[in-house]
Amino acid sequence: MSRVFKKMLTFRSYASSSSGNLHSITDGETTIIVDCGLPWKQVQKAFDFKTSGISAVLCCHAHLDHSKGVPGAAGAGLNVYLLPETRKALRLSGHRYHDIKLFETFSIGTIAVKAFSLEHDVPNCGFLFAGGGEKSVYITDTYYSKFRFTGLNIIAIECNYSIPTLAPDLPPEQRKRLLRSHFSLENLKIFLSKNDLSRVREIWLLHLSRGNSDAENFKREIAAQTGIPVYVAGE
């Protein structure tokens, strides 16, 4: 008698900060890089120089901490999916670059992907993944998400700062930009309270600010609110 093994989605983080963001999601058959914000040589090292097993790269926006390794990925023969505004901002061209249309589902191997709009200071999108009977959402570099999700198993979401942990000497302009372009602990709590968490088995906190966050406290507060295991990306 043959046994059928369920393919679960697995999220992994290699780096997550303003210095560079690099993550992956896989269902055991298809592996996708989610943001490629490190130099390509560092990306190769993170994947033990086995990048031939990667199916594609997704890039959410043009800032270099999310896109620095994209040209190297395309040069290595990987297809890159990104918003047309992002491609134009980065001045990228060639058959390896594929424009994303918001809210339209497309397939990368065995994983279905849908991009949705986010609120940042440049065009930006989040990603909803479906594969192996599971769902995952990826949200970063936004101060707000107007979308609600059901049936999620993994949530990977920015938790950049909280109001009490903002550096007291933060310049006013930098503070203003932070409040209008990044997800806070307070907004994350609201987001989680308004979404269906009944199937969520893990939450990943992304893009914590080096000078304006408290990783252990953030983990503790989100775990206390949800009762779900919480991980800090890049640790």
pLDDT tens-digit map of 114-126: 999 999 999 999 9
Question: Residue 2: its pLDDT value, please?
Answer: 39
pLDDT band at 179 (very low <50, low <70, confident <90, very high): confident
Neighbours of 232 (CB within 10 A): 17
Q: Does the pLDDT value for residue 170 go beyond 90? A: no
pLDDT band at 235 (very low <50, low <70, confident <90, very high): low
Over the stretch 37-56, which tens digit does the pLDDT of each residue have?
Answer: 999 999 999 999 989 899 99
In one-letter notation, the amino acid at residue 91 is R
Over the stretch 66-123, which tens digit does the pLDDT of each residue have?
Answer: 999 999 999 999 999 999 999 999 999 999 999 999 999 999 999 999 999 999 999 9
Q: Where are the beta strands (DSSP E) in the chain?
A: 10-17, 20-26, 31-36, 56-59, 80-82, 97-99, 106-108, 111-117, 125-131, 134-139, 154-158, 202-206, 230-232
At 165, give phi and psi (nearest 5°). -100, 5
Q: How would you list the strands of the sheet with 80-82, edge to edge?
A: 10-17, 20-26, 31-36, 56-59, 80-82, 97-99
Helix axes 215-226, 185-193, angle to 10 degrees: 20
By mean pLDDT, which of 17-21, 179-183, 202-206 is the weakest? 179-183
pTM given for the model: 0.94
pLDDT band at 172 (very low <50, low <70, confident <90, very high): confident
- CATH superfamily, with its number, for domain 10-232: Ribonuclease Z/Hydroxyacylglutathione hydrolase-like (3.60.15.10)
User: What does R_g of the chain's alpha carbons equal in angstroms?
Assistant: 17
pLDDT band at 187 (very low <50, low <70, confident <90, very high): very high
